[in-house]
Amino acid sequence: MDDTIRRYLVDTLLIEFGDDGSAVSEDANLFESGLIDSFGFVQLVAFLEKTFDIKISDEEVLSDALSSFAKIRSFVEGKVAS
């Protein structure tokens, strides 16, 4: 799961995660940093729903639950487990 989400963020939304200074950390807020725009967000939500067969509500979309890689991962883990 970690790998599937990471691959999507890297290959489709073109976010570069890593440890060096110029790369993005797993806890970085992807919206505030301008790494995901509204198109990207709509794509991300559709990808997560389809890939993990989950439903993401309007409230969840509006919350901070999907604002960083780390948060996306734990959000999806919680959804899949429930």
Partner 1 sequence: MSAPAAGEVRLCVRCVLPSTFPGISFDARGLCSLCQDAPPAPEFEKIRGDLRRKLEAVFDANRGKAEYDVIVAFSGGKDSSYTLMALTRTYGLKCLAVTIDNGFIAEQAQKNLRAVTSSLGIDFLLFTPAPVFMHHLYKTSATTPVHTKAALTRASSICNSCINLINNHMVKLALEKSVPIIAGGYIGGQVPKDSVIMVMDLDVQARFRSEAIKRYLKHFGPDAEGYFGIGDTLVARSALRKINIVNPMLAFGVSEERIIEEISELGWRKTADTGSNSTNCLLNDLGIAVHYKQHRYNPYVNEIAEQVRTGLMSREDAIHKVQDIPDFARVERQARAIGLEWGDV
DSSP labels for 24-77? BPTTS-TTTTTSS-HHHHHHHHHHHHHHHT----HHHHHSSTTSSHHHHHHHHH
Q: How far is 73 from 82, CA to CA, in rounded Å?
A: 14
User: Counting contacts by CB under 8 A, is residue 13 touching partner 1?
Assistant: yes
Q: Which of 6, 10, 71, 77 binds partner 1 (CB under 8 A)?
A: 10
> Among residue numbers 29 through 68, which ones bind partner 1 (CB under 8 A)?
31-32, 34-43, 46, 58, 61-62
User: Counting contacts by CB under 8 A, is residue 23 touching partner 1?
Assistant: no
Nearer to partner 1, 38 or 82 (CB): 38
